[in-house]
């Protein structure tokens, strides 16, 4: 199933019939992949399809059980990541790890700075070489600028420059856009196109299908560790690709049920946090999903934090089911019936080193109690119950939650909060960075919860998600609520106009 190309350039890197097993389970089964210079190649598949294992095999982290890695047509064996790097293969991860206090140039040449006599670092040469790299990438970044304060997109560009300084010919980009805003994605894509024109081979992983179609020429799809297809993207539709990834036609991505809203469960009046957001008032009714849209930094997350009591509020009132809620206390918000699924599941939603069971149990520490002690039986059955209800895929409930894929981690966060039986559920970017299948599951779940009488406030930067799921859309712009748009009138244009402050909707 390889795609030997008789015409055009020879492949720079190829995997041939790679197999890799962990214990009894086969993570990769006879997978082949060919990367040509001057090509951006998408690697598609759901979480757990084997993408990570494949990348790690290319990067020299895993050694395949069977099959060959061919570099310029000759078989090679990578004994470690260093070998792969020396062979010109570089991996750019989602969240770059730069030294914040060092300059861009120092980051790029860390540990191998050009030297002058007596071993002194040649700052001038470091600067010049970095400037040359930036010119090659067609970006305007000052080599002497410290890495602190760079946007994630710019940090990734620095990582790319670093890879180029190692003469990388193959760049593997593992979900580089997951944390980027629209304009940052455009900036990164500009760099990727430049690289392509200069003859690099890029392997691009993203859950956002529109990005795959925007930047890639060919796509290789994996499902359950097996190669499904490797083909040009031209002529394919998003539905075709999803079918290959999921192995079936995906049920509707936005399965929103019609619900007649009931009484007001969450009422926020004139909420203000100085310098962050001002005079924010809204209501969420039983059975409603209210979308909160806006650009990153508009203050949406901050409103959610203030409602839940993570941050103090300077003015304004919050009422849950008719009762006033004191500010500044998440435990009071929980008791009142609010649940918050935060935007950063790794830092805020979960304790990564703790087991699935204990993570779900955290919100029940005050309720799963018998005679003052934690009732372990009740804790376990509560956790198992919700893990099963949300179809979390795990080996053992006692495994650290950090071993799960992103989509399953998000399900654990949801489980943890649904187990509290909330009246009001606030979800902040509920489907960021999770695959399309899990995304549909989360949407179905939110819709079902609303139908069961929960008031849902959904913050999202994913506009189709907002339009597909929300009964009403609130829009924030620079710390103020600028529009409230009913479902029937919500369009990309009307929401974006309010989000960018162009219209008084």
Rounded CA-CA distance 336/357 in Å is: 24
Out of 395, 452, 464, 493, the only residue in the binding site for other proteins (CB under 8 A) is 395
Residue 382 binding other proteins, by CB under 8 A: no
Site for other proteins contains 365 (CB under 8 A): yes
Q: Does 400 bind other proteins (CB under 8 A)?
A: yes
Residue 26, CA atoms < 13 Å, CB-side half-sphere: 14
Task: Give the burial class of 237: count Cβ atoms within 10 A of its Cβ; 0-12 exposed, 13-18 middle, 19 or more buried.
Answer: exposed
300 to 319: interface string for other proteins, x by CB under 8 A: ----------x---------
Phi, psi at residue 332, to the nearest 5°? -65, -40
With binding defined as CB under 8 A, does residue 408 bind other proteins?
Answer: yes
Distance CA 420, CA 440 (A): 23
Indicate which single residue of 40, 42, 46, 449 sits in contact with other proteins (rule: CB under 8 A). Answer: 46
Q: Could you say which residues in the range 425-464 bind other proteins, by CB under 8 A? A: 435, 437-438
Q: Residue 251 has what DSSP assignment?
A: P
The distance of closest approach from Cβ of residue 49 to other proteins in the complex, given in angstroms and rounded to an integer, is 8
Q: Which of 37, 291, 342, 479 binds other proteins (CB under 8 A)?
A: 342
- Cβ 276 to other proteins shortest distance, Å: 18
Using the contact rule CB under 8 A, the part of the chain among 133-141, 143-151, 162-170, 402-410 near other proteins is 402-410
Per CB under 8 A, the list member of 27, 209, 290, 425 interacting with other proteins is 27
Among the listed residues 253, 259, 354, 505, the single contact to other proteins using CB under 8 A:
354
| String of contacts with other proteins for each residue 319-338, x by CB under 8 A | ----------xxx-xx----
Cα 78 to Cα 63: distance, rounded to the nearest angstrom: 7
Count other C-beta atoms under 10 Å from residue 326's C-beta.
12
Q: Element (H or E) spanning 315, and its range?
A: strand 315-320
* Three-state SS sequence of 341-373: ECCCHHHHHCCCCCEHHHHHHHHHCCCCEECCE
User: What is the rounded distance in angstroms from the CA atom of residue 434 to the CA atom of residue 436?
Assistant: 7
Task: List binders of other proteins among 150-169 (CB under 8 A).
Answer: none
Among 178, 250, 374, 451, binds other proteins (CB under 8 A): 374
* 251: contact with other proteins by CB under 8 A: no
Nearer to other proteins, 162 or 358 (CB): 358
Q: Which of 58, 215, 340, 415 binds other proteins (CB under 8 A)?
A: 340
Number of residues lying near other proteins (CB under 8 A): 54
| Alpha helix positions (H), 309-459 | 330-336, 356-361, 376-389, 406-418, 436-451
- Per CB under 8 A, 493 contacts other proteins: no
**Sheet containing 480-486: order of strands:** 338-341, 424-428, 455-459, 289-294, 472-477, 480-486
In the sheet that 226-232 helps form, which strands lie side by side, from edge to edge?
74-76, 66-71, 13-22, 25-35, 226-232, 218-223, 39-44, 201-205, 170-174, 89-92
Distance CA 495, CA 453 (A): 26
Q: Does 388 bind other proteins (CB under 8 A)?
A: no
Q: Is 279 left (phi over 0), alpha (psi -120 to 50) or beta?
A: left
CB of 5 to other proteins, least distance (A): 31
Given 17, 144, 224, 240, the residue binding other proteins (CB under 8 A): 224
User: Least distance from C-beta 345 to other proteins, angstroms?
Assistant: 9
Judged by CB under 8 A, the stretch of 118-126, 288-296, 350-358, 478-486 that binds other proteins is 350-358
Q: Is 64 in the site for other proteins (CB under 8 A)?
A: no
- Choosing from 349, 430, 468, 479, the residue that interacts with other proteins (CB under 8 A) is 349
C-beta of residue 7 within 8 angstroms of C-beta of residue 13: no
Shortest separation between residue 426's beta carbon and other proteins, angstroms: 11
**What residues make contact with other proteins under the rule CB under 8 A?**
21-25, 27, 46-48, 50, 53, 224-225, 310, 329-331, 333-334, 340, 342, 347-354, 358, 361-363, 365-366, 369, 372-374, 393-396, 399-400, 403-405, 407-408, 416, 435, 437-438
């Amino acid at each position: 199933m390889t795609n030997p190309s008789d015409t055009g350039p020879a492949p720079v890197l190829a995997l041939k019939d790679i197999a890799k097993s962990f214990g009894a389970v086969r993570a990769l089964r006879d997978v082949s992949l060919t990367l040509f210079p001057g090509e951006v190649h998408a690697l598609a598949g759901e979480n757990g399809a084997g993408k990570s294992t494949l990348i790690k095999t290319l990067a020299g982290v895993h050694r395949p059980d069977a099959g060959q890695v061919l570099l310029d047509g000759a078989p090679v064996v990578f004994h470690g990541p260093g070998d792969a790097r020396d062979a010109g293969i570089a991996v750019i991860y989602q969240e770059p790890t730069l030294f914040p206090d060092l300059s861009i140039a120092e980051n790029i040449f860390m540990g191998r700075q050009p030297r002058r006599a007596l071993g002194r670092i040649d700052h001038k040469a470091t600067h010049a070489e970095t400037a040359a790299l930036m010119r090659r990438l067609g970006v305007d970044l000052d080599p002497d600028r410290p890495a602190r304060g760079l946007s994630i997109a710019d940090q990734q560009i620095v990582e790319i420059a670093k890879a180029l300084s190692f003469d990388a010919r193959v760049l593997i980009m593992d979900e580089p856009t997951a944390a980027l805003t629209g304009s940052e994605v455009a900036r990164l894509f500009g760099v990727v196109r430049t690289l392509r024109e200069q003859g690099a081979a890029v392997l691009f992983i993203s859950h956002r299908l529109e990005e795959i179609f925007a930047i890639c020429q060919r796509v290789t799809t994996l499902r359950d560790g097996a190669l499904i297809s490797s083909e040009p993207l031209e002529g394919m539709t998003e539905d075709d690709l999803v079918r290959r990834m999921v192995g079936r036609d995906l049920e509707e991505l936005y399965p929103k049920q019609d619900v007649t809203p009931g009484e007001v469960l969450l009422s926020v009046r004139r909420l203000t946090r100085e310098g962050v957001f001002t005079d924010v008032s809204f209501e969420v009714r039983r059975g409603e999903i209210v979308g909160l849209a806006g650009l990153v930094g508009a203050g949406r997350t901050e409103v959610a934090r203030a409602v839940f009591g993570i941050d103090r509020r300077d003015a304004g009132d919050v009422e849950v089911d008719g009762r006033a809620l004191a500010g500044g206390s998440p435990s009071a918000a929980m008791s009142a019936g609010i649940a918050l699924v935060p935007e950063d599941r790794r830092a805020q939603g979960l304790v990564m080193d703790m087991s699935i069971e204990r993570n779900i149990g955290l919100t029940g520490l005050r309720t799963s109690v018998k005679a003052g002690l934690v009732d372990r039986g009740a804790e376990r059955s509560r956790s198992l119950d919700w893990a099963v209800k949300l179809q979390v895929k795990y080996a053992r409930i006692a495994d650290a939650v950090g071993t799960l894929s992103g989509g399953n981690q998000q399900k654990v966060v949801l489980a943890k909060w649904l187990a509290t039986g909330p009246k009001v559920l606030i979800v902040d970017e509920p489907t960021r960075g999770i695959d399309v299948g899990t995304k549909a599951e989360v949407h179905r779940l939110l819709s079902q919860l609303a139908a069961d009488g929960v008031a849902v406030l959904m913050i999202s930067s994913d506009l189709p998600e907002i339009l597909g799921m929300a009964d009403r859309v609130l829009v924030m712009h620079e710390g103020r609520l600028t529009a409230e748009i009913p479902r029937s009138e919500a369009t990309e244009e009307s929401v974006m106009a309010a989000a960018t402050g162009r219209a008084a909707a």
